[in-house]
Amino acid sequence: MNHAAAHARYAPALLSRRRLLQVGTLGWFGLDLAGLLQAEEQRTARASGAKEQIRSCILLYYYGGPSHLDTWDMKPDAPPEVRGEFRSIATVTPGLRIGEHLPRCARLTNRLAILRSMHHPMTNHNSAAVESLCGRTPLKGDLELLGDDANSFPCYGAALSYLKQGRRHVPCHVALPHVMYNVVRLPGQTAGFLGAANNPFQVTSDPNRPDFRVDELSLPGDLPLSRLEDRRSLLSMIEHRARRADQVAARGTMTVHQQRAFHLLSSEEVRRAFDLSRESERTRERYGRNTLGQSLLLARRLVEAGVRFVNVNDKIHNGQTANWDSHENNFGRLKNDLLPPADQAFSGLIEDLEARGLLASTLVVALAEFGRTPKINANRGRDHWPYCFSVVLAGGGVLGGSVYGASDRIGAYPAENPVTPGNLAATIFWRFGIDPAIEVHDTTGRPYQLADGEPLRSLFSRSGPG
């Protein structure tokens, strides 16, 4: 798509000169959202998939890889070196048992679907992240991949942004509360070959902080937008910026990206969505007063405001004591540090979405880049294991209380109905009413099917498309 076509798609009418003056003000205050949105503009035809069934998706990513054997797929009859230290507990779903440190989730498994046969070949955090965040096996192989580049595979939210734009004043795709790193920026967090215009609106501050704010959406000293409408006041504050805006207005060259940036800044709806102070103390406590809990609460608020895809990243840095990468002291870390807040936050999200009538229209996906080894190592830890692990789905029409696939007796390999990241990708797009078989093209023109698997249709009610 050329520049003129892109301009027509995102900005059917030019902004007024007065509004252009406002945009000229943004850089002075360090609010240059346009710089975040500047990108390639080439696009291919949009898919016309089936009738849309969900409005939003929240993808919760447990960076580092939790042990499936100690959470969603326990093996109580396996040898001690596989079984581990935890016991299983009953759930509200007859015959379904999960790990004892997920008691809140155990009370709502009738709203969950557990995939116990997810698998892929990537053993490194970076390459495995592409599998989980993009639904693709990286072309560079397992140990060679470092970070994203201009021809990398796009993440789910970027593909959705590319194919199915949302409301004008609301970002299609938000990622929070930080960017993840494994020495370099963990791949799978960008739009890749779909161009930076489809990158997520990235939040880089902790929603649990008392002073939490999204700087890109904040005016200095709570300066109201109405004040910026006053040209005389504007010129007195930043005369040279106003002159620059005058020149832009005269040329009519304001970019699509600047307009999108300005729309976000001027959207009171978006500003309200990011304002967690509007939530009751009881609700905030239910999610958990920690980064993960408040991030999932913020994700619910964003979905409520019309954001289509939200990535919530649990943990930020590489290192086995910094995330879920439990090569040592697996059981102590899960019991004392990792599982209690995860159990509280995830269950709080599902209950809150349901109470607000949002669960049916919001697909929640909880996953990691891989699971952990069946055999416990000498340091009482478990190592990387992508050959079989668990993913949990909720909402979006999923059949609650269901288990799809099964692992073998020690949780090492799929024994029934193996699932690939391509299947999960196809399922997500299918639930948005997008045909997973449509083609997208990389920067060299090479075609790729949007997802290289089939949707897991049997996990959803008959109201689903297809």
Give the rounded percent of residues in the chain with a pLDDT score beyond 90: 69
3-state DSSP helix/strand/coil % of the chain, to nearest 5: 40, 15, 45
Does any domain span residue 427? yes
In which domain, by residue range, is 94 found?
53-214+274-459
Q: Tell me 398's DSSP state.
A: B
**Residue 176: pLDDT over 90:** yes
Residue in the block written with tokens 């938000």: 174
Query: What's the number of domains the chain is made of?
Result: 1
Give the rounded percent of residues in the chain with a pLDDT score beyond 70: 76
Does any domain span residue 35? no
Question: DSSP 3-state assignment of 453?
Answer: coil
How far apart CA 102 and CA 28 sit, in angstroms, is 49
pLDDT digits 0-9 by tens, 401-453: 999 999 999 999 999 999 999 999 999 999 999 999 999 999 999 999 999 99
Average pLDDT on 369-377 reads 98
DSSP H helical segments within 183-275, as ranges?
225-228, 231-237, 239-251, 256-265, 268-273
Does any domain span residue 174? yes
Does any domain span residue 37? no
Average pLDDT on 7-21 reads 36
Q: Tell me 325's DSSP state.
A: -
Closest residue by Cα to residue 313 from 189, 155, 156: 189
How far apart CA 104 and CA 237 sit, in angstroms, is 54
Average pLDDT on 361-383 reads 98
Q: Are 206 and 177 in contact (CB under 8 A)?
A: yes
Residue in the block written with tokens 């697996």: 330
More confident residue, 104 or 30: 104
Average pLDDT on 52-57 reads 87
The CATH number linked to 102 is 3.40.720.10
Write b or e for each residue in 94-118: b if 16 or more Cβ atoms lie within 10 A of its Cβ, otherwise e. Answer: eebbbbbbbbbbbebbebbbbbbbb
* pLDDT of the residue at 407: 98
More confident residue, 384 or 318: 384
Question: DSSP 3-state assignment of 277?
Answer: helix
Does any domain span residue 374? yes
* pLDDT of the residue at 457: 96
Closest residue by Cα to residue 426 from 371, 365, 369: 365
* pLDDT of the residue at 212: 95
Does any domain span residue 46? no
Does any domain span residue 422? yes
Please give the backbone phi and psi of residue 184, each rounded to the nearest 5 degrees, phi first.
-100, 175
Q: How far is CA 96 from the centre of its chain?
A: 28
How far apart CA 356 and CA 347 sit, in angstroms, is 14
* pLDDT of the residue at 418: 98
Does this model's pTM top 0.85? My answer is no
Q: Are 58 and 302 in contact (CB under 8 A)?
A: no
Closest residue by Cα to residue 281 from 297, 300, 295, 302: 297
pLDDT digits 0-9 by tens, 153-169: 999 999 999 998 666 68
Average pLDDT, the chain: 83
Does any domain span residue 110? yes
pLDDT digits 0-9 by tens, 299-357: 999 999 999 999 999 999 887 788 999 999 999 999 999 999 999 999 999 999 999 99
Query: Counting Cβ atoms within 10 Å, is residue 261 exposed (0-12), middle (13-18) or buried (19+)?
Result: buried
Strands (E), 352-413: 362-367, 371-372, 384-385, 389-395, 402-404, 406-407
